[in-house]
Amino acid sequence: MFSLENKKRIIDAHNIIKEYQTGTELLRVLDDVTITVMENEFTAILGPSGSGKSTLMNVLGCLDRPTSGTYFLDGVDVLQANEKQLAHMRNQKIGFVFQKFNLLPRLTAIQNVMLPLLYRGIDEADAFERAKEKLVLLGLENRLKHRPNELSGGQQQRVAIARAIVGDPPLLLADEPTGNLDSKSSLDAIKIFQDLHHQGNTILVITHDRDVAEKLQKVVFIRDGRLYEN
């Protein structure tokens, strides 16, 4: 076993505050949030809607900047990065899995999975092989050339997961990954995340579903913009 000290801090965010100006009112959505996610942790952030969990995910996903605080992702200071560096960070450090899968409707399954690699500048043949490998891993070897509308919800989510992991990012960030799935597909999806966790991936799941959160290694609660551990 590794000792805790030898593990890398993937997410290292301190005193994150995010405020929005709505009319004359200043709305504090994240209130002094501090969160650390170590390498190969499998963490759930559980909270009801309006708790600030989406905002937290946007900040952790490098899609949004906090009003104040510090945030290091895989050792890199996110808040010092410019827009272009943020885009590269999202491409290389994070694999997003969305509630509604967010596959591009005009691209085939494999083209969807290849996309993050292509944005990384990897050439097509190489990207194809790597995308195929991930799709095969997720049991979609017969669905490579299918478009999203020819796939079931569960299959679409697996394509989306394949797209998230294809670039081997240090962090998988899943936003309500079971929210649009039936109960059987939900279980399948959770099983996939568990397998990925066992293979060494660091996963952060944001959910309002207690049943999902309970299947994970660690749960953090968020309410009114504040984090609570248990």
Partner 1 sequence: MKARQLIKLVFINIYHNKFRSLLTTLGVIVGTATIFLVVAIGAGGEAQVNQQYSKLNVGTIMVTSATRGKVKDPLTKKDAERFTESAHVASAFPVVNGSGTMKYGNYGNKGSFFGIVPEYQEANHLSVQIGRLLEDDDESKHNRFAVLGSDFANTYTDGNPDEIVGKSIEINSRTFEVVGLLNRVGDSGSFMSYDDSVFLPMSVAEKYLLGNRSNPNITVVAKDLNSVSSAIEDIKSILDETHRLGGSDQFRIVDAGSRLASAQSTAKTMSMLLLSVAVVVLIVSGIGIMNVMFVTVKERTKEIGTLKAIGATRSEILSQFLGEAVVISFVGGILGSIIGYGMVPVLSYFELAALPTLNGLMLGLLFSVVTGVFFGFYPAWKAADLNPIEALRYE
Contacting positions for partner 1 (CB under 8 A):
58, 61, 63-64, 83-84, 87-88, 90-92, 96, 98, 102, 104-107, 111, 115-116, 118-121, 123-124, 163
User: Residue 111 or 185: which CB sits closer to partner 1?
Assistant: 111
> CA gyration radius for the chain?
18
Tell me which residue of 220, 166, 214 sits closest to 194, measured CA to CA.
214
Closest distance to partner 1 from the beta carbon of 56 (Å):
12
Closest distance to partner 1 from the beta carbon of 223 (Å):
21
User: Residue 23 or 105: which CB sits closer to partner 1?
Assistant: 105
Tell me which residue of 139, 138, 151, 152 sits closest to 108, measured CA to CA.
151
Q: Could you give the C-alpha distances from 133 to 128, 138, 144, 179, 190, in angstroms and in order?
A: 9, 9, 11, 26, 20
User: Residue 78 or 219: which CB sits closer to partner 1?
Assistant: 78
User: Residue 25 or 123: which CB sits closer to partner 1?
Assistant: 123
Judged by DSSP in three states, 109 sits in helix
Closest distance to partner 1 from the beta carbon of 104 (Å):
6
Euclidean distance between CA atoms 90 and 8, whole angstroms: 19
